[in-house]
Structures are given as C-alpha cells and as structure tokens.
Amino acid sequence: MKTLLDQEQLNDGVQELADAINSQYGNTPLTIVGVLTGSVVLMADLIRKLNMPLRVGVVQTSSYQGTERGKLTINSEMMLDITERDVLLIDDIFDTGHTLQEVRALMHTLGPASLKSAVLLCKTGRQEVDWRPEFVAFDIPDEFVVGYGLDYNDQYRNLPFLACLEEADIA
C-alpha cells in the first residue's frame, strides 16, 4: 500500500479542523457525536484540541462489506440526548454521502438546536447527495483508503497514517 497522508500531515489537518470548529463555536457548549467505528481515532485527537465545554457520544452505523457498500444500518442506542443542543457529527470519510445524510436525518428528528458535521476525508467526485459537511480536513482522490481509523475487513484501523490499498493488498 502507498501512503497518502503521513502522521504529520494528519496532525496538521486535525489541528486545522479544530481551529475552524473552535472559531465557529467559541465557548458555546457542544455535543460531539462520533460515527462508530471509523471516527474513533479522529474523534479522540480532535476533542483534545477543542476549547469549548464538550459532551461526547456515539452512534453506530454499518454499510460496507469489504470494499462494497451494502444496506446501511444505524444503531443510536448509545447516543446522548441531543434535544436543544448544538451538535457536531463526526465521521471518518464523506464518500457517497449516504451514511452521513441518513444519520443527520435521524438526528434532526431528535430536536437539536443546531447540527453540523465534520469529516477527516472527502473523496473527490464520489458524492451522490446535494450537501457537503461543514468541516472537512482533507479532500482526497477516489481511492480505497485505510489507517487512522479507516479499515478494510476490520484491519488497518491502527495505522498512524492514511494509505491507499492497492489491488494486491485487497487480494
């Protein structure tokens, strides 16, 4: 596999993401909701760089089998009460956009005061929805990536860098 973003680039991108979020919210209390499992590494690094009072929760989604997208399932049982709260939804990657769009739709029904989203990665040219997350650390080419929380068949999440899987890695 080839490295797309090294540790230093990832750290710089997360800092820029945090700076933008800090600028947007100031000292306003914020509820962070991470999309499991891919956002765990980003969320851990990001919340340590945020200055406002935070509540942190998660929602679990699943849609990929290997490299193929399947039916989306959402388990929100572990999510905090977000009624009348400013909420920031955190995910690892904005690919087609369907996962975040469906999670956002669910969250809107729960009555947040505001709802925005932040992602580590946005894949160029893959979006099939009419919106984009308000906060994006990196735009990347349309390649299958792993590391820094992203996986292939539940492997590679622990890599401290972001890598593109090549055909030989998938086989």
Measured distance CA(103)–CA(84) in Å, rounded: 17
Instruction: In whole angstroms, give the CA distance from residue 101 to residue 124.
Output: 17
What distances in angstroms separate CA 53 from CA 32, 46, 97, one per listed residue? Answer: 10, 13, 29
Cross-sheet strand order for the sheet of 68-75: 68-75, 54-65, 30-36, 86-94, 114-123, 135-140
DSSP state of 150: B
Which residues are identified as catalytic? 95
Separation of alpha carbons 161 and 12, rounded Å: 12
Token pair listed for 15? 């800092």
Q: Which residues contact 170 (CB under 8 A, 6 or more apart)?
A: 66, 67, 144, 152
